[in-house]
Amino acid sequence: MKSVRLIFLPGHTKTRCAVSILMKEEYIKPCIWILENSIMSRNGEMDERMPLFLTAGLGCLFCMPIIYLATRPVVWLFHAPWLAWVLPGLFILTPLSVTFIILYRSGWHEEWPKFRRILSTAVSSCMIFGVDLLGMAAIVAAACLIAGLAKVMGGN
């Protein structure tokens, strides 16, 4: 027999609740704490321990190789010439979307009007994407340099 308990978090609307199925209260309390103290929470002051731009930048940075690894089997399987036109859009739009969502859903500049906040978030997302793209290029260049030096120095 399964029992379902709805736990409404203080200060939150009905839509934000934690559901526990056959769970004890001590297992739910850390989850509630994470939800209440999340960087994505709009209810309190922003947490300065984990900078928002660092979170958005890491989300964008980790998104790039995941997309590459996820699309490699599709490219290998279909060998479609039109895929060369779709993939660059996917490689650009997905990390930008992840960064935009992280910045927009946070409590960053909620006092601004909606249009100004969206425009500011879009510009910030583009800047973060550019920095991450340069960082990814530097990582790939360093890896190629290390691999080339290892081959020159007599490695396999």
Domain extents for the chain?
4-36, 52-152
Query: With the CA atoms of 144, 147, 151 and 156 taken in that order, what torsion angle do they form, in degrees rounded to the nearest 10?
Result: -140
Phi-psi region of 11 (alpha: psi -120 to 50; beta: other; left: phi over 0): left
Tell me what pLDDT residue 86 has. Answer: 83
Cβ neighbours of 17 (radius 10 Å)? 14
Alpha helices in 2-152 (DSSP H): 25-36, 52-78, 83-105, 114-152
pLDDT means over runs of 10, the chain (156 residues): 46 42 50 53 54 88 87 82 81 92 85 91 94 92 92 74
pLDDT at residue 44, rounded to an integer: 52
In one-letter notation, the amino acid at residue 83 is L
Res 50: pLDDT? 61
- pLDDT of res. 112: 87
- The predicted pLDDT at position 15 comes to 40
CA-closest candidate to residue 17, choices 28, 27, 26: 28
> Quick check: pTM over 0.85?
no
pLDDT at 131: 94
